[in-house]
A = this chain, B = another copy of it.
């Protein structure tokens, strides 16, 4: 097995790039993921200025995405006495980070669909073609049941603590 030596800046760039790509494939703004990645591997909180120059992005872009990261609870503001600038740092606990991301996406994106599905499940659907009606109803029911169960599981994850997750869930993997 070969062990390579690479420059820190190069390794960091690779990591940020990969994290940004991953994010954008999953519907998260590339810049947002990249800022998050940058903060995850920085020893100290960074100012907007620093983030701007490290990632070559504009002030507006930096500001909006830092704000979004704070909305998600993934990044916190840090104020320093005698300094008017704001500094930002990412929570480094990945379990907590994942928990927050999952919770937020569930709330914003999954919950509305679950609502619609249960709505469609309770509504009386009218139509002339019986085969179509039956297929629609049973299709929606199947999806609704599965999604409901998956959602319960996700909820369990979101509400559990790290200890439970690692001990109870991961022993299933063995």
Contact = CB atoms under 8 A, between A and B. Distances in A.
A1 B156 CA distance: 28
A112 B48 CA distance: 30
B27 A140 contact: no
A15 to B, nearest CB: 6
A57 interface: no
A8 B136 contact: yes
Given A92-B142, A172-B169, A8 B123 contact: no
B8 A116 contact: no
A164 to B, nearest CB: 9
A87 to B, nearest CB: 15
A4 to B, nearest CB: 5
Of A11, A122, A132, A149, which is in contact with the most chain B CB atoms at under 10 Å from its CB? A11
A163 interface: no
B172 A135 contact: no
A42 interface: yes
Contact of A123 (B3, B142, B149): B3
Interface in A35-74: 40-44
A68 B11 CA distance: 34
B113 A22 contact: yes
A170 B149 contact: yes
Contact of A43 (B22, B109, B132, B150): B132
A14 interface: yes
B123 A4 contact: yes
